[in-house]
Amino acid sequence: MVTQDEVFASGNSAHIWQKYCGFLDLSTEQFMRLQAGLLLEQIDQIAASPLARKLMPSRPRTVEEFRRLTPLTTYADYAPDLSARNESALAVKPASWVCTSGRGGSIKWIPWTETAMEIFAEAGIAAGILACANQKGEVRVRSGMRALANLASPPYGSGLLCQVMIEKMGVTLMPPFAGTETLEFAARTQLGFKMGLRNGVDLLSSLTSVLIKMGENFSQSSGQMKLSRGLLHPRILGRLVAAWVNCKIQRRSLLPRDLWPIKGLIAYGMDTDLYREQLRHYWGREPLEIYAATESGTIATQAWNKKGLTFIPYTSFYEFIPEEEWLQNRQNPRYQPSTVLLNQVQPGKRYEIVITSYYGMPFLRYRIGDLIRITSLEDKAAGIHLPQMVFVSRADDLIDLAGFTRLDEKTLGAALLQTGFRYEDWTARKESANGKNRLKLYIEPKGNTTNTVIWEEQLHQALSAISEDYRDLSRMLEYQPLEVRLLPEGSFQRYYKDRQQAGADLAHLKPPHMNASDLMINKLLPN
């Protein structure tokens, strides 16, 4: 049997591409047949397990029966068993228990079966291939490549999956997890940067916000760069000098792309598309965006053209709650929203995504809590005949104003970017004042633009240009629903340090961009 390692070692690009990226050639009908077959296999595998018997009242024989008889679920339905890591409730013994962050600082434990881990790794490898590709069928990933990945260490799923992937591809990870497990995220990032200076970087994967911050720091500090003892290694010094000379000739600041002519860039975070131009500027490579969850593995990825995201058929079974059904359920929690399948989605519409596990994992009609938007039913230019999507927001992160407009994080982020104002970070929520609901933005500005009125005017104009509903709301109600509170310098850094000292989980070191709690806001405000 040919192993994944041997696939890469063979150097057969056509074989590698077909194995990992062949799903991009599927029709919607073929996609649905594959989904249905894997779902029925999953039902057969887990039906007798104690947890499945609790959630699935009878054993369905078809996809239609499964959707009709099995209720939608959330993590609360699994928490009594999964939080206790009760393996006797599961159909398949987990190869590993991984953790992910829930709302409010809670930790969710997810059992990954051995097969699921292998399949999730395959989807991750596909993303690595597509990140490096400039055209269909091009495979530039090779054994011996050096990858710089800013990921949390195991038992977080991203770190564990990265370990599996690099073993399959024969890639060198910087920094390695072995021996660095106890380092904090910032320290690991700094160590990886130093190793990258010495050894070079071929493939880079990180949060978009981290990539932007690194690019900004390079640009702002390159003129004052001092050669510390740690930078005097011959390979580091040679790389820095060559890059510095080249930038002097071009009369511009030093950028990360000058040190690392990377082959592939994988960026994750819902603001990736907003900062695509800056990512190209700093890193010299078009970023590949992926959409993933610990419960499901990678759900969708951009193709070689780095445009819309295409669903991956073999990681989970997908259903979609239309926005109108989601809203009715939000207003009446007892209402059971209906779902559609991928061959029934409509372009331009938003949906809450629902997944059912494959490969013996436990989740049945599970609400991840994310809203996505279908942008088109195919990518004609690329020859991809599957629906294309973008991530919109967490389902509970929408800000509803007067029941008329629902703003998401991407819309607010795009409006802030359009103003051209520089800022450290921000959070927004709905607040009531004088009998009116207002969109309250708390933001820490950079530079000299510290006039609240100017911020409000510019951001209001940007939101009106981007969101027709927001524009119509302000006109109909005859008031500007936006209020800006400028925070003093260091507010978010202080919050970050306070949470770090309190032992907060990595994902909860900063307040969310949307709907922060009173406690979070009070910690941001000056004493």
Angle at 150 between CA 144 and CA 154, to 5 degrees: 90
Question: CA separation (Å) from 101 to 75, 295, 382, 496?
Answer: 12, 11, 36, 16
* CA atoms of 325 and 352, how far apart (whole Å): 9
Given this model, what pLDDT does residue 238 score?
Answer: 73
The more confidently predicted of residues 28 and 179 is: 28
Give the CA-trace dihedral at 268, 274, 279, 280, to 10 degrees: 120
Residue 382: CB partners within 8 Å, gap ≥ 6?
24, 136, 303, 304, 305, 307
* CA atoms of 224 and 244, how far apart (whole Å): 12
Least confident of 263-267, 386-390, 466-470: 466-470
Residue 380 banded pLDDT, cuts 50, 70, 90: very high
Please, are residues 306 and 286 in contact by the beta-carbon 8 Å criterion?
yes
Please, are residues 40 and 356 in contact by the beta-carbon 8 Å criterion?
no
H helices within 133-174, ranges in order? 157-169
Residue 305 banded pLDDT, cuts 50, 70, 90: very high
Angle at 91 between CA 99 and CA 52, to 5 degrees: 90
User: Does 342 score more than 60 pLDDT?
Assistant: yes
* CA atoms of 345 and 323, how far apart (whole Å): 11
Please, are residues 423 and 488 in contact by the beta-carbon 8 Å criterion?
no
CB atoms within 10 A of CB 517: 12
Please, are residues 492 and 425 in contact by the beta-carbon 8 Å criterion?
yes
CA-closest candidate to residue 394, choices 512, 296, 521: 512
CATH code that applies to domain 398-524: 3.30.300
Judged by DSSP in three states, 379 sits in strand
User: Does 444 score more than 90 pLDDT?
Assistant: yes
* CA atoms of 380 and 344, how far apart (whole Å): 19
Residue 19: CB partners within 8 Å, gap ≥ 6?
4, 7, 122
Q: Residues 202-217: what's their mean pLDDT?
A: 82
User: Does 224 score more than 50 pLDDT?
Assistant: no
User: Does 102 score more than 70 pLDDT?
Assistant: no
Given this model, what pLDDT does residue 124 score?
Answer: 93
Please, are residues 186 and 180 in contact by the beta-carbon 8 Å criterion?
no
* Encoded tokens for 51: 């947890």
Given this model, what pLDDT does residue 1 score?
Answer: 39
Given this model, what pLDDT does residue 509 score?
Answer: 73
pLDDT per residue as tens digits for the range 133-191: 999 999 998 888 899 887 777 888 888 888 888 888 888 888 887 777 777 777 777 78
Please, are residues 204 and 279 in contact by the beta-carbon 8 Å criterion?
no
Given this model, what pLDDT does residue 435 score?
Answer: 64
Q: Residues 109-136: what's their mean pLDDT?
A: 95
CA-closest candidate to residue 223, choices 245, 249, 254: 254
Please, are residues 117 and 188 in contact by the beta-carbon 8 Å criterion?
no
Pair type for strands 366-376 and 172-174:
unpaired
Amino acid sitting at position 337 = P
Given this model, what pLDDT does residue 286 score?
Answer: 94
* Encoded tokens for 36: 């249905």
CA-closest candidate to residue 141, choices 10, 233, 238, 31: 10
User: Does 231 score more than 60 pLDDT?
Assistant: no
Whole-number average pLDDT of the chain: 87
* Encoded tokens for 191: 């160590």
Residues 18-46 as b/e (b if ≥16 CB within 10 A, e otherwise) read ebbbebbebebeebbeebbebbbebbebb
Q: Residues 329-339: what's their mean pLDDT?
A: 91
Least confident of 202-211, 382-391, 492-501, 504-513: 504-513
User: Does 266 score more than 90 pLDDT?
Assistant: yes
Given this model, what pLDDT does residue 227 score?
Answer: 46
User: Does 296 score more than 70 pLDDT?
Assistant: yes
Domain spans, the chain: 117-288, 398-524
Which stretch of DSSP H or E encloses residue 311?
Answer: strand 309-311
User: Does 230 score more than 60 pLDDT?
Assistant: no
Q: Residues 225-233: what's their mean pLDDT?
A: 52
Assign residue 43 a region (left: φ > 0; alpha: ψ between -120 and 50; beta: otherwise).
Answer: alpha
User: Does 103 score more than 60 pLDDT?
Assistant: no
Exposed (0-12), middle (13-18) or buried (19+): which is 391, by Cβ within 10 Å? buried
Which stretch of DSSP H or E encloses residue 174?
Answer: strand 172-174
Given this model, what pLDDT does residue 477 score?
Answer: 63
CATH code that applies to domain 117-288: 3.40.50
User: Does 232 score more than 60 pLDDT?
Assistant: no
pTM of the model as a whole: 0.82
Given this model, what pLDDT does residue 188 score?
Answer: 79
pLDDT per residue as tens digits for the range 426-435: 999 888 776 6
pLDDT per residue as tens digits for the range 62-95: 999 999 999 999 999 999 999 999 999 999 999 9
* Encoded tokens for 424: 């450290």
